[in-house]
Amino acid sequence: NSISSNSGWKTLKVATDPTFVPFEMKDANGNLEGFDIDLMNAIAQVAGLQVQWESLPFDGMISTLQAKRVDAAINGITITPERQKTISFSRPYFKAGLAIAVRANNQDIQDVNSLKGRKIGVQIGSTGADFAKTIPNAQIITFNSGPDFFQDLQNGNVDAAISDAFATLYAIKTGQLKGIKVVSNLLTEEFYGIATPHNSPYLETINKGIGTLLANGTYEQIYQKWMGT
């Protein structure tokens, strides 16, 4: 199969934090799966590279790339000008955005204005954490991963969470996240990119790979597999 026939291929070390459904997660046997996992493996396939996955916390992803300890990271990472100062991004591969999540019975938090002065849970190092800092008098509670702060939202330790809408809606839809709803419209428009160190020899290969998968229908197949209803 593919493992043995690809064994002569050059290895691409790719980092991810598999706590971000449905982009990267672990199946019942502990194997990585998700939209990003399929996308990255498919890019590698067309480029004749073999992915060596490394699980790392999201918060350490950028410094790990900067230190060139991995060749790339895929983690639903939003392309931002701030991050582009220290790492490079592929062309965008997914349109995303932040949303507010609250307990299902909450009636007073309807939009971003009603977040003033509230306790807001965010994932450390995320665009949601950056956004929360712009809310007047908000008390920001940071957590190491998405699942952690949702627990605190469920049990009332925070009033709201700000996180990537699609991931939150997916967790609600699949029943992993109970008693939570997403309110209001998207707070931001964001685009995910595959991140590499600056001047990476692989960036062009990755961009070409995304282009090939968009053109030959593989991207659409992967999209339908994970995002389709």
Name the one range near ligand GLN by CB under 6 A: 73-81, 133-141, 151-159, 203-211: 73-81
Query: Looking at beta carbons only, is 15 or 47 nearer to ligand GLN?
Result: 15
User: Is-cis flag, bond preceding 18, omega within 30?
Assistant: no
Q: Does residue 94 bind ligand GLN (CB under 6 A)?
A: no
Write the DSSP symbol of residue 89: E
Asked if 182 contacts 100 with a C-beta cutoff of 8 angstroms, the reply is yes
Minimum distance, C-beta of residue 167 to ligand GLN, in the bound complex (Å): 7
Counting contacts by CB under 6 A, is residue 218 touching ligand GLN? no
Phi, psi (deg, nearest 5) at residue 103: -65, 145
Q: Out of 21, 44, 74, 78, which residue is the one contacting ligand GLN (CB under 6 A)?
A: 78
Tell me how far apart the alpha carbons of residues 79 and 138 are, in angstroms, rounded to a whole number: 25
Strand order in the sheet with 160-164: 139-143, 119-123, 160-164, 98-103, 180-183
Q: Which two tokens stand for residue 143?
A: 């957590």
Q: Does 76 bind ligand GLN (CB under 6 A)?
A: yes
Of 45, 64, 75, 88, which one interacts with ligand GLN (CB under 6 A)? Answer: 75
- Name residues contacting ligand GLN, limited to 109-128 (CB under 6 A): 123, 126-127
Nearer to ligand GLN, 47 or 160 (CB): 160
